[in-house]
Amino acid sequence: MTCPAPVHIPTKDLFRLDGRTIFVSGGAGALGTTVGKAILESGGDVLFSDMSLPNVDTWREIEKTSTANRTKAFYYQLNATEADHFPKSFDTIRNMLRFPLRGLVACAGISGECDACDYPVDVFRKIVDVNLMGTFLIARAVAKEMHTANVTGSMVLVASMSGWVANKGINTAPYNASKSAIHQLTRSLAAEWGHPQNTFPGRTPGDANPNPDEERKPYPPIRVNSLSPGHIETPITDAAKQRGLQEHWEKQNMLGRISQPEEYRAPTLFLLAEGSSFMTGADLRVDGGHCAW
């Protein structure tokens, strides 16, 4: 199943998201709240989701933004790694929304610094579980909603420049590995959900295919891209500032500073909206030139 190229959309509307709902995981964090507000300003409703409740003042600003733009902001508390809760949660979410889910920004993620030889196994597994498995579970759940509604969609999986390079001077092996995995997850989901011809007919029987003879249904295409930020100044970086790491990070990119959450608004809107209609399976690296030295 293919969809025609959106050639008749006026240039001024290429970043618009009217008539659709975008799911933002990690929606209580600095990046999630910032890009979520940008989506509201661009005509889309936003379902913010996170393990923790949003800051009261921040949520008040989000509601002001949605009111000013005649859009809707919703919040749903969800642990992205608890797959058993997803069916019931999405039954509730579906009934909250005005418009079908047609987009995802997967921001939820954690990190932790430790030398590899000393890295606690349970902490390593948690980072991979949240960053990789949590992203996959959210993407799968949102894709199922798009399939049920028979609509096209676009997903932005937040990876990192750390998926391309090892971070100089700071030992974060599981974080780096999980973000590199997001790049490959992006390509794999983009291939699978882009067009039925991308998958060979039939299925090999096995634990993952209990019903190998079940026929696949064709669905409208879902584009999947990743966004790889560079270092971002957020409340989480306060400890790095105290150690003097920010000064080192600023010297490691071509612009001589670290980024602000607001600088990811336009890249995210571009990937979600029709401005990137022929872009899928790609990574948009926004790192101040860090990886281009």
- CATH number, domain of 228, equals 3.40.50.720
Residue 208 belongs to a domain: no
pLDDT, residue 244, reads 86
Task: List the chain pLDDT tens, one digit each, 293 residues.
Answer: 678 899 999 999 999 999 999 999 999 999 999 999 999 999 999 999 999 989 999 999 999 999 999 999 999 999 999 999 999 999 999 999 999 999 999 999 999 999 999 999 999 999 999 999 999 999 999 999 999 999 999 999 999 999 999 988 899 999 999 999 999 999 999 999 999 889 888 888 888 887 877 888 899 999 999 999 999 998 777 777 788 889 999 999 999 999 999 999 999 999 999 999 999 999 999 999 999 99
Q: What are phi and psi of 241, to 5 degrees?
A: -60, -45
Which residues are 272's β-sheet partners?
none
Tell me, what's the pLDDT at 68? 98
Alpha carbons 161 and 158: distance in angstroms, whole number: 10
- Amino acid letter, residue 56: V
d(CA 22, CA 9): 20
Q: Quote the CA–CA distance of 106 and 131 in Å, as a whole number.
A: 9
Domain-located, residue 73: yes
Asked whether residue 4 is assigned to any structural domain, the reply reads no
Range of the domain at 68: 12-199+217-287
Assess whether 179 carries a catalytic annotation.
Answer: yes
The predicted structure's pLDDT at residue 116: 96
Which one from 37, 72, 75, 179 is the annotated catalytic residue? 179
Q: Give CA–CA dist 234/163, Å, rounded.
A: 20
Neighbour tally for 201: CB within 10 Å: 8
Task: Report pLDDT for 226.
Answer: 98
pLDDT at 205: 87
What is the rounded distance in angstroms from the CA atom of residue 54 to the CA atom of residue 13?
Answer: 30
Q: pTM, whole model, 2 decimals?
A: 0.96
Which residues, in sequence order, are bridge partners of residue 223?
154
Contact partners, residue 85, CB within 8 Å, separation at least 6: 78, 79
In a domain, 207, yes or no: no
Q: Classify residue 35: in a domain, yes or no.
A: yes
What's the domain count of the chain? 1
What pLDDT does 80 receive? Answer: 92
Per the CB < 8 A criterion, the answer to whether 128 and 174 are in contact is yes
Q: Is residue 292 part of a domain?
A: no
Domain annotation covers residue 18: yes
Q: How far apart are CA 41 and CA 99, in angstroms?
A: 16
Q: Confirm whether 204 is domain-assigned.
A: no
**3-class DSSP state for residue 238?**
helix
Predicted local confidence at residue 203, as pLDDT: 85
**Phi and psi of 104, rounded to 5°?**
-145, 135
Pick the catalytic residue from 37, 72, 175, 219. Answer: 175
For residue 278, the model assigns a pLDDT of: 98
